[in-house]
Structure 1
Amino acid sequence: MEPRALSEQETSTPSSTERAEVLARKLNTAVRDSDVKYVLELLKEGADVNSKVESGWTPLQSAVQADSEELVRLLLDRGACPHARKDNGGTAFIEAAMVGNVSILKLLLDYGLDINDHDDNGFTAFMEAAWYGKEEALEFLYSKGADVNLRRAVSEENEKLYKGGETALMDACRKGHLSIVKTLVQEMGADVNVCDNKDRNALIHVLREGCAKKRYESAVSIARFLLDPGGIDVNSKDECGKTPLILAVEMQSADLVEALLEKGEIDIDDADEEGNTALMVAVEKDDYNIAKLLCEKGARTDVGNLIAVANRNRAHNMARLLRQYHARVPETFEDWEPNSKRWRDQLKKLYQIYRPMIGKLKTFQYIQQRIQNTSQGGIYLGLYGGTEVAVRICRSTEGDKEKMFFEKCGNCERLLKLFQFEKARGYMYLCFPLWEKNLEEHLQESEETVDYKDPLKMIFQAVRELHSLGFAHQDLHPRNFLIDLGEKIYLADFDNKRVLIEGKNELVNSDLEALGRLVLYVLTRGSKPLQQVSTKDLAAGSPDYNEALDLVISLGARDDRGLEGLSKHPYFWSRQTFKFLKSIWNKIKDLQNRQAIFQAPNVTQSFPYPSWTKEVDPVVLKIMSKPVKGMSYEYKDDVTELLRFIRNMDEHPNRRITNKIGDHAEYFFRLFPELTMYVYNSLRQQPKYSHFVDIQDTSL
């Protein structure tokens, strides 16, 4: 059999693209091997100095990883881009921090790089230096302005999953770099109480790692260092609700347990999401010494079936110890159904698990029980004497000030009220009636177009009530308007941004402008972020479009009516609007020069329907112009005549007209959508006739 002939493709020379890829792979390999001579040869052959291989690595990044300053300089001289990123967003500068080469960091920094730049996972060069224990690089980056307390930035999607938010200090704690931790805290001022997106501080991070044997010794040393100066929050929790004390028991470190118990503010009976206390964990692990220490310090023995666990472990000494401290079978809970629909599962969990009571309050300050984030801390679910509440936890001094403010809100209908409060261990627990969602969530969940007059009335009332107490809100964001099961709206200020007005009208005007944006946000169903929405987003031709537009413009124009007057704006009139138009003719019909009212110098808008008789259905116009008592009437094309026409047609109903056009009010609003605001503003702008526009009851 003759040998197979090679195909044309097999005998052809490589394409330019294939050759470039081959050169790129060879160049990266040569760089990683630190083969300077071969690198120069490949560049001479035409290898692209900025080519990328697997995972987006460039020759410059490979040179940094190889810790070759010579190659880094060579590649930069040949045009290598220091800003190039790998597939994960990493740069040569961030890579240099991992390697810890200060000379390369200096060299790259001269190319105008942002020292706090991060990759797609939020890691900065400073964080990487802490993670890999590169102390010299860490100190250099700090000297050049690296942000010590910068939290790991992640995508919005990952943030919703509570990922990210870690700091360089947390990274050093997790990797067991004691000297780095000391440098960060003592020399660079790292904040030991910054929390990641799972509410874990540095102490939680180190103790979680300490449960692994290889990290045990370093974890104990770092935890002791963090505890020694004081000031670190020893009641912080991980995402499973475990406190530092519970984690120290899991590590089976009696020294750390004792050190934590020396902190007076610690809650020895705090429990995790499964209801396990530190003593329950010690009994489960059959750690007699730690269990004895906890019992001596007053840990409750009537929580969890401790004797049964000790017997299961055949731990007779443990069982004897527990009986000595009066251990008994715990109480069981009857089934219970909460009122809240949204928070049902979390509330049932809270009801069923053990939690140390704070007076009459049962709450759990951990991520799965948190219902809202604020700049002042989280808001958590709670049960106060069996009533479902939202709990804000703050220091007692701050809590006293907040309590004083909420006492002023007692007679207000639309401001969030304080339900009850408790004090314990220097903290104030402020309890509020539980809400189902905030306005932002409500609008995002709404699928149908609805009339938002009632919600906006409640919003206006809430702002009016706050102003009447002498405060401007300064943060009228939809998340601060809370909606309960009955769809009632209440205004909250958990970020504590309110300020005393004290005669400063600019503060009131600022609230009114913000309220205008909020109205637009509501009317457009939250289709755009609050700060991006504009009047252009209002759907022209939609019901009440002209009234809504005028209301928003008035709110932003420092209108002399103020919030009290604007709360009676035509937008809120509902069914009163047609009655208003009918009533105006009755109020002006006996005036000698009726048309002059709408032609006064104060009236800035011209009549929008100068040929209205041609827009009305000709059959209807003919019927309304028929002889009365032997005389016919010809309507003129001016506003007063249109008002007369509207009044006459409604006051003297005609079946033929009704069959022709249907509901009179709907017909006129569809035909003359700008009429209401034209009449209203024309009269309002004239002191002599402004009282004509007063509508007392806007709810009808």
Structure 2
Amino acid sequence: MERTEDLAFKLNAALRDSNMKDVLELLEKGADVNSKAGSGWTPLQTAVQADDEDLVRLLLDKGACPHARKDNGGTAFTEAAIAGNVNILELLLDRGLNIDDHDDNGFTAFMEAACYGKEEALKFLYSKGANVNLRRAVSEENAKLHKGGATALMDACKEGHFSVVRTLVQEMGADVNIRDNKDRNALIHALKEGCAKERHESAVSIGLFLLGCGIDVHSKDECGKTALILAVEMRSPDLVKALLEKGEIDIDDADEEGNTALMVAVEKNDYNIAKLLCEKGARTDVGELIAVANRNRAHNVARLLRQYNAKFVLETFEDWEPNSKCWREQLKKLYKIYRPMIGKLKTFQYIQQRIQNTSQGGIYLGLHGGTEVAVRISRSTEGDKEKRFFEQCGNCEHLLKLFQFEKAGGYMYLCFPLWEKNLEECLQEPGDQMDYKDALRMIFQAVRELHSLGFAHQDLHPSNFFIDLRGKIYLADFDNRRKLIEGKKELVNSDLEALSRLVLYVLTGGRKPLQQVSIEDLAADSPDYKEALDLVSSLDSHDERGLEGLSKHPYFWSKQTRFKFLKSIWNKIKDLRNRRAVFQARNATESFPYPWWTEEIDKDVLNVMENPRNGKPFQYSNDITDLLRFIRNLDEHPDARISNRIGDHAEYFLKLFPALTIYVYNSLRQNPKYSHFADIQDSSL
């Protein structure tokens, strides 16, 4: 009897040969219809790749699983799209397959059909509801490397399938301006492959078509090359002309090496394109244009350049060191390369200079008059609104402020003081040394300041808090989620709830994503544990004190302030007839947490206090009022015997009775008659 492995191998070979007779015999001998060969290929997938509809039907009838995946996550359905066989696609769809299912690299059947130019299969999948504008889904790890995000249109452009591109756009409504995770749109995908001889003609046709569809010409490839630079590299005067006719294009934009379209044309010794660029006003005073032309022995190009005032110039840069530590290398590169200036601003809108992603676009590094800045770029209309909002933040200590702005070509360039990291990035750094209490104090103030301007933030995510070189925290709203409060308390309450979760996120060091963190993640042995729990609960329950009052919560008090508070209470209640009444306005479930406190105190310390040298003996009871009296007397009447034994008084009592401060504070606060006892003059000590 043949081994299972041998039968599987032979079945796979028979399917590749489309040998129906051998397939039937092998199945009769017991070959597993769902066995897997190299790279995880199943018999069904092999039959689909062989484009044999009869074998596919046979295997399905014999129990082949249409959902089985290869090692890369691909299915028989994606293979059918590659083969372009509509009948097999329909057959598999009838078996309950998800039309937008994708493999481990994010490829759907629709994308595969576009990539391989299978237009009939593409139209069939579209008619069955395939998502035309679906972006390639990749793992979180690959997304961090800026992989994925491409669409079927980008695939068709990259492979040079002009007919498919036209069908996708004109008949299926494909969005030409979607960008992948490297910030490239369909035009960039088409032109990047256009230098290859076999792709040149189709790339030109696709490029001209997309330009006619109004595609955004500001997209760049991963090296910062614009569509114009790529068209020059392709040596296509038709594309260059079409791009230059777009009024919004920047003819002097440069890539990450500082090369403009004219520099590329000169390097390639393309006289006609160089002449076209010069006639359209390309700058000739940047780069080593004459030197490059001379090196190429391109005398006609050199003469052309001189006609347009080009000179032999050797650019030199003085040594410059940025203030920023985090963005040092990117800033030094930005400083050295050529970039067309926007007023006093030098910036480069491409992925390697991007420091933050937002739903409204990226934030990029910049130099404004030599000052390191973060640059937000938007259309002038939206930019004017943003500018007005950020100008309102000018007098706020912890809201991000506008430093300068520039306008050019219908765009607004908002410049902000450069930060080092956002809160999320900072907490996830190995060996994080952040002072959480100080950080939360600044966060609370930032939200209070925003509320004072009449806005609720509505997106208090750690990525919206920025930290500068000095460790100062600023709040921003680059996603435009903020809403005018206008008396709507629910908006303020929503911010308080979000702040409650943010407090937990910070106190747990960002170990879990914001939406997954909970009270259970707090370290119970933290000296601020009880205060932190109460603060989180107060925020979440929309405490009547509001953010202003909660900013003075005992969590923010120093140890000395907490101890001073406990000492002061005895002085305030000692002359009252019924001292216990002060602490009886709480919920019955929250009783005094230390009903046997005299047994927890060091016995020698208790003995010294109950038998003072120059006073009458006094026996302390387990009542809370006597504990406060004990704390006050011990600290007001120092005794070396006690100090030598317990050390710092505040440290000793707060560690021994960690829940005492918040219990006393809330007892007083919730008792209308004595709530003023809970007020302290300075909670920041």
Aligned residue for 2:470?
Answer: 486
Aligned residue for 1:656?
Answer: 641
Q: Letter of the 2:304 partner, please give it.
A: L
Q: Deviations over 1:527-574 (max 9, x none)?
A: 111111100000112111100111011110111111111100000011
Q: Paired residue for 1:513, among 494, 497, 507?
A: 497
Aligned residue for 1:417?
Answer: 401
- Give the secondary-structure state (helix, strand or coil) at the position aligned to 2:514: coil
Aligned pairs for 1:98-137 within 5 A? 98-137=82-121
Aligned residue for 1:180?
Answer: 164
Structure 1 residue 449 displacement after superposition: 6.1
Structure 1 segments, 4+ long, off by >6 Å, are none
Aligned residue for 2:624?
Answer: 639
Aligned equivalents of 1:266 and 1:187: distance in 2? Answer: 28
Aligned residue for 2:252?
Answer: 269
Q: Deviations over 1:352-400 (max 9, x none)?
A: 1110000000000011111111111111000000000000111111101
Q: Letter of the 1:172 partner, please give it.
A: A
Aligned equivalents of 2:402 and 2:430: distance in 1? Answer: 29
Q: Letter of the 2:157 partner, please give it.
A: C
Aligned residue for 1:526?
Answer: 510
Aligned equivalents of 1:336 and 1:449: distance in 2? Answer: 30
Aligned equivalents of 1:604 and 1:89: distance in 2? Answer: 55
Aligned equivalents of 2:614 and 2:254: distance in 1? Answer: 90
Aligned residue for 1:588?
Answer: 573
Note if 1:312 corresponds to 2:295.
yes
More displaced stretch, 671-680 vs 625-634:
625-634
Q: Paired residue for 1:683, among 668, 672, 681?
A: 668
Aligned residue for 2:228?
Answer: 245
Aligned residue for 1:4?
Answer: none
Q: Deviations over 1:341-360 (max 9, x none)?
A: 11111111111111000000
8 Å Cα contact 2:585-2:670 kept in structure 1: no
Q: Letter of the 1:118 partner, please give it.
A: H
Aligned equivalents of 2:432 and 2:273: distance in 1? Answer: 59
Aligned equivalents of 1:630 and 1:553: distance in 2? Answer: 45
- Give the secondary-structure state (helix, strand or coil) at the position aligned to 1:217: helix
Aligned equivalents of 1:603 and 1:71: distance in 2? Answer: 76
Q: Deviations over 1:59-103 (max 9, x none)?
A: 000111111111111111111111100011100011111011111
Aligned pairs for 1:394-433 within 5 A? 394-433=378-417
Q: Letter of the 2:124 partner, please give it.
A: F
Q: Letter of the 2:228 partner, please give it.
A: L
Aligned equivalents of 1:662 and 1:580: distance in 2? Answer: 19
Aligned equivalents of 1:663 and 1:24: distance in 2? Answer: 77
Structure 1 residue 695 displacement after superposition: 2.2
Q: Paired residue for 1:363, among 347, 357, 367?
A: 347
Structure 1 residue 140 displacement after superposition: 1.2
Structure 1 residue 448 displacement after superposition: 5.4
Aligned equivalents of 2:5 and 2:543: distance in 1? Answer: 68
- Give the secondary-structure state (helix, strand or coil) at the position aligned to 2:502: helix
- Give the secondary-structure state (helix, strand or coil) at the position aligned to 1:445: coil
Aligned residue for 2:286?
Answer: 303
Aligned equivalents of 1:514 and 1:399: distance in 2? Answer: 27
Q: How many residues align?
A: 683
Aligned equivalents of 2:249 and 2:348: distance in 1? Answer: 15
Aligned equivalents of 1:98 and 1:209: distance in 2? Answer: 21
Aligned equivalents of 2:443 and 2:108: distance in 1? Answer: 43
Q: Deviations over 1:462-490 (max 9, x none)?
A: 01111111111111111111000000000
Q: TM-score, with normalisation over the residues of structure 1?
A: 0.96
Structure 1 residue 636 displacement after superposition: 0.9
8 Å Cα contact 1:603-1:685 kept in structure 2: no
Aligned residue for 2:204?
Answer: 220
Q: Letter of the 1:88 partner, please give it.
A: N
Aligned pairs for 1:252-651 within 5 A? 252-330=235-313, 331-447=315-431, 451-574=435-558, 575-600=560-585, 605-627=590-612, 631-651=616-636
Aligned residue for 1:84?
Answer: 68
Aligned equivalents of 2:655 and 2:91: distance in 1? Answer: 70
Aligned equivalents of 2:436 and 2:234: distance in 1? Answer: 56
Q: List gaps (5 residues or longer) in structure 1.
A: 1-12
- Residues 349 and 627 from structure 1, CA distance in 2 versus in 1: closer, same or farther, beyond 3 angstroms? closer
Aligned residue for 1:235?
Answer: 218
Structure 1 residue 518 displacement after superposition: 0.7
Note if 1:97 corresponds to 2:81.
yes
Aligned equivalents of 1:624 and 1:183: distance in 2? Answer: 91
- Give the secondary-structure state (helix, strand or coil) at the position aligned to 2:193: helix
- Residues 163 and 384 from structure 1, CA distance in 2 versus in 1: closer, same or farther, beyond 3 angstroms? same
Identical positions, percent: 80
8 Å Cα contact 2:427-2:434 kept in structure 1: no
Q: Letter of the 1:316 partner, please give it.
A: H
- Residues 581 and 48 from structure 1, CA distance in 2 versus in 1: closer, same or farther, beyond 3 angstroms? same
Aligned equivalents of 1:419 and 1:585: distance in 2? Answer: 52
Note if 1:674 corresponds to 2:659.
yes
Aligned residue for 1:56?
Answer: 40
Aligned equivalents of 1:403 and 1:687: distance in 2? Answer: 46
Aligned residue for 2:55?
Answer: 71
8 Å Cα contact 1:55-1:86 kept in structure 2: yes
Structure 1 residue 601 displacement after superposition: 5.9
Note if 1:153 corresponds to 2:119.
no
Aligned equivalents of 1:630 and 1:49: distance in 2? Answer: 96
Aligned residue for 1:6?
Answer: none
8 Å Cα contact 2:586-2:667 kept in structure 1: no
- Residues 190 and 45 from structure 1, CA distance in 2 versus in 1: closer, same or farther, beyond 3 angstroms? same
- Give the secondary-structure state (helix, strand or coil) at the position aligned to 1:490: strand
Q: Letter of the 1:633 partner, please give it.
A: F
- Residues 40 and 634 from structure 1, CA distance in 2 versus in 1: closer, same or farther, beyond 3 angstroms? same
Q: TM-score, with normalisation over the residues of structure 2?
A: 0.98
More displaced stretch, 452-461 vs 107-116:
107-116
Q: Deviations over 1:13-69 (max 9, x none)?
A: 86xxxx000000111111121111221111111110000000100000011111111
8 Å Cα contact 2:460-2:502 kept in structure 1: yes
8 Å Cα contact 1:602-1:685 kept in structure 2: no
Aligned equivalents of 1:190 and 1:342: distance in 2? Answer: 39
8 Å Cα contact 1:60-1:80 kept in structure 2: yes
Structure 1 residue 602 displacement after superposition: 5.8
More displaced stretch, 624-633 vs 582-591:
624-633
Aligned equivalents of 2:454 and 2:651: distance in 1? Answer: 42
Structure 1 residue 604 displacement after superposition: 5.4
- Residues 408 and 394 from structure 1, CA distance in 2 versus in 1: closer, same or farther, beyond 3 angstroms? same
Aligned equivalents of 1:630 and 1:457: distance in 2? Answer: 45
Aligned residue for 1:8?
Answer: none
Aligned equivalents of 1:524 and 1:602: distance in 2? Answer: 29
Aligned equivalents of 2:242 and 2:497: distance in 1? Answer: 54
- Give the secondary-structure state (helix, strand or coil) at the position aligned to 1:378: strand
- Give the secondary-structure state (helix, strand or coil) at the position aligned to 1:210: coil
Structure 1 residue 600 displacement after superposition: 3.3
Aligned equivalents of 2:110 and 2:543: distance in 1? Answer: 52
